[in-house]
A and B are shown apart, each in its own frame.
Chain A
Amino acid sequence: MALLRSRGGLILTNPVLASYVVPVHPHPLLVPEQNEGWQRLRDAFDEARQQISDSGADVIIIYSTTWPSIIGHQIQADPNPTWTLVDQDFHDLGSMDYSFRIDADFAEAWNKANHSRGLQSRTVAYNGFPIDVGSVVALKLLNPDNAIPAVIVSSNVYANRAETTVLAKSCLDVLKSTGKKAVAVTAMSMSNRMFTEFIDAADDKIHSLKDDEWNRKVLEFLEEGRLEDVAQLSRTIHQQIRVQKVVTFKPMWWLSAMNDNRNDLTGRVLAYEALHGAGGAVVHLDPTSNGMGDKEYDEDDVEVYHGERNVLDAEANESSPESKHVDGNGPALWDPAEGKDAVNTDSAPKPVGLYPHARRVGDLLYLSGVGPRQPGTNAIPGGPIQDANGEPLEYDIKAQTRAVVENIARILEEAGSSMEKVVDVTSFLVDMDRDFAGYNEVWAETLGHYGPTRTTLAIRALPTPIAVEMKVIAKI
């Protein structure tokens, strides 16, 4: 599992072991022998298959551009979808029988995590559901024996970068909470301008020189591991080499977010060939740093999707400007108090009273008590400790502690500080006997790594149904 440096200086583990870009058209699967380039793509698929097999991954996650959706994102949750697919265009190349092994539990957990981060999504598990051609080609070639269970997510027609990024972050939430390691795959064309007439297989080539040049530029970036740069150029690339409507170049948004928006991956283009004029590439992105510098991150990051197009529920979502209750399980929430020295951020959960997230005093920063609630949704990673009626619930202290630390990192970042600059921490646990060991373990992996002083207290209760809260003092 790769150790990565995130913004804010927090050491996190990213559970994505490898990422791949693969083409969607069926030629490498059905008729590779008809064209040398198609065969080279097939060989590249085979190489990727071997790498995936050797990776130790627990799940293959596919974001497919040939599965468009409208109502948010859809996630395949049929444990064993089985059917025969015929491509709408290339039906004369043959039929594709499939029977896949889907990690339905993961799909359901991802769907739930999406909701926690404000996304519209749903799982689908219906007999005869038409698995899309990009996913079928990818899974049949990358995982032919179903040795690794898969998850497939659609490409929402209307999704912007924020929505697509949050989709990846909720996927990462599930990977982290389950401890699973994943291979991330985007099923997509590079340029997707095909010949509009029928051609002999032997005559296949990239549709135009312009498309070819753009493809090569994108692949050059990927080979240099500059995934985030490609993501930031997504709209430009789309305008240049993609047909309009539906899929754009948004898979790169998802894949970059799955890799913590990094620019220093180790990339390798296994093949790049024409598929009836479209650009088909098999690319391997290894999370190992290539030693080059990372990015200048010049797009806003986003943790929670606020759903600006939530037309149907617009009225229901209108909230008081001052406070709102969440699920009837906890006190009212407030907008953070403003003030000359106050530090507030949308990336941290709303306060339960009129106070700021932090306050600057000289070169010191005093944080208000920070809990694990998620910004925007107030979901509690690891679960609440009790229900709305006060009945105790099972919860995961490690997940809660990790979420506390992540919230701290966001507030520090907003203030221009970082985890390295934390001086002193006071921790509050509602059940010292039950939770100290788990809390202490996460501490050692995260904040403890930087060596601040620490005091841990047992208290009777916290205002929201959480088990841990931390009070932090840091230098700026």
Chain B
Amino acid sequence: MSILVIAEHDNLTLKVATRNAIAAAAKINITLATEIHVLVAGVACGDAAQQAAAVAGVAKVIVADAAHYGDQTAENLAALIVAQAGGHTHILAAATSNGKNTLPRVAALLDVAQISDIIAVLDADTFVRPIYAGNALATVKSADPVKVITVRTTGFDAVEASGGHAVIENIQASTDLGQAKLVNRELTKSARPELAAAKIIVSGGRGMGSGENYHTVLEPLADKLGAAMGASRAAVDAGFVSNDYQVGQTGKIVAPQLYIAIGISGAIQHLAGMKDSKVIVAINKDPDAPIFQVADYGLVADLFQAVPELVAAL
């Protein structure tokens, strides 16, 4: 019996989130002492598979290469994972939009529960996961024969990208179910680091006032710090930036070395997405803003003066 991790990739590159999930698998494996396998399903995904084979601690990479896996649609992916489920005690994926989309389908088809968004592994059956937007932590134990798990990436430091020498095994693709077709994909192109993997994040809220202000005020700071850019739900709802910038309970969960919250009041659902950051800085003109209750360094100031000053001084 072994542990199966579903790779997060774009055919060419293995995403860091996969290595966070493998780190969780490695924790589970402490008590099981078995093998960790990685499933790479995609089209012309040889590069991603090679990268997976090099990851520390991976024993085998299973590759399913077919046109109908290229877009990572949940229906085909779940059918493939279920076909591969035999022989695995645990099936894990990072809690990315792909992982969250696909894995519950797998769990239902296997007639087992899914354990969502784990942040700690206590033993092979027992896990800790946040509930109520992270305002409480639940320790849950599964009695199911197969544990289907999504992994909150901020809960586990990624294993090394190199050092592994896994064997690569090509498998037969399942039939194309033909139920869902990708029509269009609009991914934000940016030279900045990815929000989920960034060391420093500069994040703006409703206090930015407009999308134009968001960009003209925050971009120079992000450039200086080599930071990713994020936003509160209020800023996204107001149309300052697109949804993929959102940090919070229902957006991205981040835990960078430094999180700079600018013009963000600090609603519970925003805090749920960033309160595990190592150092939090808040710049807000309202001294009573709840963000100051979690900030390591708070600056009560008008952001339109303070941020340019900060940029000039860095």
Report if A and B associate in a common complex: no
